[in-house]
Amino acid sequence: MRDTADLLLRAAVLRASVHRARAQSRRGHSDRTARWLFAHLSLGRTQRALTFMLRRPIRGRVPKDPVDVAIDFHDRPYYGPPQDARRRQVVKTKEERGTHRAHRFASLSILLPRFRLIASLRFHPRNGGTLTAVRAALHDFQMAGGKLRAVFLDRGFYNYVVLSWLKAPGITAVVPLRLGSRQRKKWERGKRSYSTTHTLKGPRRGDPPLEVTIHVVVRYQMGRKWDRHGSQYLIYAVLGDRSLKEVADRYRGRFGIESSYRILGQAMARTSSRSPALRLLQVGVGMLLQNEWVILKLLYASEGRQGPVGFRIREELLRFEDLLQMLLRAVGYRLGNVCAVENRRRLPTRLRRQGLTLL
């Protein structure tokens, strides 16, 4: 198992396939054995192992006070026919990289000052609703020892089922509205921020109407970003008692998840396999490396400072690329590195006739 883990880690650091990582290793499993092991992964066992590994290092580092969390979907493009026609495990998405299908994973991040920790990662099948993803993510967060203050969701979670389930126990939630061009005209009016209410109807007859608070935050763009000018409207549906400024400022902290996805791409192994278990494992390894990087920065690259946070992190002391290079050297000590290419066979006749000889 150690050789398999090192091989997967090398593939993640190199952003290459397991086959390519094995070609650069002198020791460990053969390429055939590695392919067989990864082809026979169990989705259920892989899910349980990743849930345990994500929960274990952060259990003692989650604050005792209530914290904010963010739940989001992460898609990996899927090519080719379905692996199992009876149980389709891909979802339909916007066209990206030549395909409109993808494997979908739901993740939960703990939003803390100056850093974020990933507490949950689960495979999201095609027939799994958004409520199932929210329930599983919040369960993993509670099992990690966290206390919930507010949930910040992506606009894909804006629906009656999710919001009604969150409102029943009194959970504070913030989610941007999913609007079309005609619907935006209803809310985008004036140049001042305002609050109002909106009633959602249930998908089934007899569902009680759900009333949510709508915060419309208006900001003026002065050309600092993408050279845009004019009013910018940020429209959120809010469950709970939250002010306009508080909702806008706290939801801005959620956008750090997008940068974490870019960091995840730096430690993502490549594969042409259609196995959801292998793809879940590769995404999980990348998120485990992110958590370890955050913990190492807190331990070895932080210093005290006055202010509400009480510390700052010196990013230049340990960047994510530096950690990946350290891991690559460590894996090289175990698996070895291929530094020369040998050909013990005789050259083909046509090449020998052209005058090519082995030195």
Q: Which of 238, 315, 259 is nearest to 109 (CA)?
A: 259
Average of pLDDT values for 84-108? 79
**What is the rounded distance in angstroms from the CA atom of residue 285 to the CA atom of residue 208?**
43
CATH code for the domain defined by 42-297: 3.90.350
* Paired tokens of 207: 């569902």
* Paired tokens of 163: 């919001």
The predicted pLDDT at position 257 comes to 59
pLDDT digits over 274-311, tens only? 888 999 999 999 999 999 999 999 889 888 887 777 88
DSSP secondary structure string, 301-350? Answer: SEEE-SSSS-EEE-GGGS-HHHHHHHHHHHHHHHH---------SPPPHH
The predicted pLDDT at position 262 comes to 77
With bands split at pLDDT 50, 70 and 90, how would you rate the model's confidence at 222? low
In the block, residue with structure tokens 């392919």: 35
The predicted pLDDT at position 253 comes to 65
pLDDT digits over 322-355, tens only? 999 999 999 888 888 888 777 777 788 888 788 7
Q: What is the DSSP letter of 171?
A: -
In the block, residue with structure tokens 């700052």: 312
Average of pLDDT values for 21-45? 87
Q: Are 337 and 358 contacting, i.e. CB atoms less than 8 angstroms apart?
A: no
pLDDT surpassing 70 at residue 26: yes
pLDDT digits over 235-274, tens only? 889 998 888 878 877 777 665 656 677 788 888 888 888 8
Residue 72: how many CB atoms within 10 A of its CB?
Answer: 21
**What is the rounded distance in angstroms from the CA atom of residue 291 to the CA atom of residue 211?**
38
Q: What are the residue ranges spanned by the domains of the chain?
A: 1-40+319-359, 42-297
Task: Pinpoint the alpha helices (H) of the chain.
Answer: 2-14, 18-23, 31-39, 43-58, 130-143, 160-167, 181-187, 244-254, 256-265, 276-300, 320-335, 349-353
The angle formed by the CA atoms of residues 332, 259 and 151, to the nearest 5 degrees, is 120
pLDDT surpassing 80 at residue 197: yes
| Average pLDDT of every residue of the chain | 84
What is the pTM for the complete model shown?
A: 0.86
Top-confidence residue, 115 or 121: 121
Q: Rounded to an integer, what is the distance from CA 270 to the centroid of its chain?
A: 16
